Structure 1
């Protein structure tokens, strides 16, 4: 097929389009890149300015951050919370969404409307706090995974996706004597993998970044998450910088930790795991969301 020759207006439009897209890419990527190069720069040299390349090279900020008290235990709690919490959220929300698609379920429409209401109205902090305490979730690891087992937004997306699967698949399985649970685990859930992968990323990011419940309901240091620990450190960067400087001087190293370098390093430690995982599951996003939002 003969390629159509571009007109002058098309060429101008494409040029401007590429220009703005590249500019948008730079504005999006550069802040994260700046944090990264600042965190690996020499603290003293970085104070003079960091733009495109690290000012010197030093990993003292990371060494100091990994030596902070309790950071290893907090990292383990955060990883366990993210893995277990995401698994429970995905499985419970998916199975509940599957049940709502069944006409045999009593009060199916009423339950679905209650789920929609939770997306528009929130009881507030005090009722949430009292409810968590009443359930005995204070200073308990279950606080991190039980309250998020069912999420209204996830249920709606999964339900809409499942309703688009061919009914003949379930009908043939029922004729063979398969139960609802077996149909869900062997047919519906595997076929819903695009939306499941999308929900998995949403849930994992939410679990990894959340520190609100930890802040108000957990006082046990052994149950402290990495996000809250680093948040506390971030608000005390001046004292941490002074503490790490004393430690480095004691070891015979003439290095000075600045509050800015501590802030950049802590920010990288919090965001890097999600940045690494996100690209592997990003390809499911558009497909999962589009297929799960065709109808309500």
Structure 2
């Protein structure tokens, strides 16, 4: 007897084969388009800086060296800034996930006092905000400026994430909560023992969004922080990029031999590429860990039922 695979292969006709070939080619092209920018940055950080600055590195690295990474990683204050970025990412992500999960759960409870009013009032905040200056004044009046908590507290509640979690929880059978309540479980017990374990896909999705936002953020440091001990990695590297650009401009104007040699080693292009790689690589490792939750969380959380 022929196997199912053999039968399926036999049924494929010329049109099906052509469709599969075109389909694979399209996805291959899309993959290359997505991957190439990262590959381009990496090979430019590893190649000779003068070639990179002139746009001569496009497909393969030339004159490979690691001086760019040594110079950037040797920055003064970099370990402390990296610690601040990691701390805000971990703590901020955990707080956002818990807040999104709990608020999303509360908005599904019919016994919540004026549930519809508070939910609509909550959604309105997605469309209106006070602006930078009123927000800064609010943070200053709350004594959050020049503190670590200015990175955490304003970002805990994200309306879109709460809406996604609420929609996901509504797809969970009500019988699970009712059975727990019949056994004497209260609201918090239901949330911790029933809702959280069954909401892992959407919570993992929220965790990815929150982690990426926290890791990449530098504007809050620019606005609220003047204490160098609280600088984040992104803000410090952003400052370093600006310094590298000023250095290159100074070299072009002076024409000094020693300065020219320094510019060959450390150009704005090489610094920008190196900084981009250092900032992007850590957060890229988060996606493979949560990928299996991400797809199901998006699909189930975006469409009720």
Listed one character per residue, the Cα deviations across residues 64-98 of structure 1 (whole Å, up to 9, x for unaligned) are 00111221111110000000000011111211111
Match of 1:41 among 42, 47, 51: 47
Q: Does 1:269 align with 2:269?
A: no
User: Given that residues 46 and 55 in structure 1 are in contact (C-alpha distance below 8 angstroms), is that contact kept between their aligned partners in structure 2?
Assistant: no
Match of 1:217 in 2: 224
User: Given that residues 144 and 150 in structure 2 are in contact (C-alpha distance below 8 angstroms), is that contact kept between their aligned partners in structure 1?
Assistant: yes
- Structure 2 segments unaligned to the other structure (5+ residues): 251-257
User: Given that residues 216 and 234 in structure 2 are in contact (C-alpha distance below 8 angstroms), is that contact kept between their aligned partners in structure 1?
Assistant: yes
Listed one character per residue, the Cα deviations across residues 223-249 of structure 1 (whole Å, up to 9, x for unaligned) are 111111111111222346799xxxxx8
Structure 1 CA distance for aligned equivalents of residues 23 and 179 of structure 2 = 51
| Deviation, structure 1 residue 259 | 2.1
| Deviation, structure 1 residue 19 | 2.0
Structure 1 CA distance for aligned equivalents of residues 98 and 247 of structure 2 = 41
Match of 1:29 in 2: 35
Flag the 1:61–1:240 CA change in 2: closer, same or farther, 3 A. Answer: farther
| Deviation, structure 1 residue 51 | 2.5
Match of 1:76 in 2: 83
| Deviation, structure 1 residue 273 | 0.5
Tell me the secondary structure at the aligned position of residue 276 of structure 2. helix
| Deviation, structure 1 residue 45 | 4.7
Q: Does 1:207 align with 2:205?
A: no
**TM-score (norm. length: structure 1):** 0.90
| Deviation, structure 1 residue 20 | 2.1
Listed one character per residue, the Cα deviations across residues 86-118 of structure 1 (whole Å, up to 9, x for unaligned) are 001111121111111111111110111112212
Tell me the secondary structure at the aligned position of residue 96 of structure 2. helix
Tell me the secondary structure at the aligned position of residue 266 of structure 2. coil
Structure 2 CA distance for aligned equivalents of residues 13 and 195 of structure 1 = 34
Flag the 1:202–1:257 CA change in 2: closer, same or farther, 3 A. Answer: same
User: Given that residues 238 and 259 in structure 1 are in contact (C-alpha distance below 8 angstroms), is that contact kept between their aligned partners in structure 2?
Assistant: yes
Match of 2:101 in 1: 94
Match of 2:12 among 6, 11, 20: 6
User: Given that residues 48 and 63 in structure 2 are in contact (C-alpha distance below 8 angstroms), is that contact kept between their aligned partners in structure 1?
Assistant: yes
Q: Does 1:183 align with 2:184?
A: no
| Deviation, structure 1 residue 47 | 4.6
User: Given that residues 242 and 257 in structure 1 are in contact (C-alpha distance below 8 angstroms), is that contact kept between their aligned partners in structure 2?
Assistant: no
User: Given that residues 241 and 262 in structure 1 are in contact (C-alpha distance below 8 angstroms), is that contact kept between their aligned partners in structure 2?
Assistant: no
Match of 2:21 among 11, 15, 19: 15
Match of 1:58 among 60, 65, 69: 65
Structure 2 CA distance for aligned equivalents of residues 234 and 203 of structure 1 = 25
Q: Name the Cα RMSD after superposition.
A: 2.4
User: Given that residues 84 and 231 in structure 2 are in contact (C-alpha distance below 8 angstroms), is that contact kept between their aligned partners in structure 1?
Assistant: yes
**Count of residue pairs brought into register by the alignment:** 290
| Deviation, structure 1 residue 290 | 1.1
Structure 2 CA distance for aligned equivalents of residues 69 and 83 of structure 1 = 24
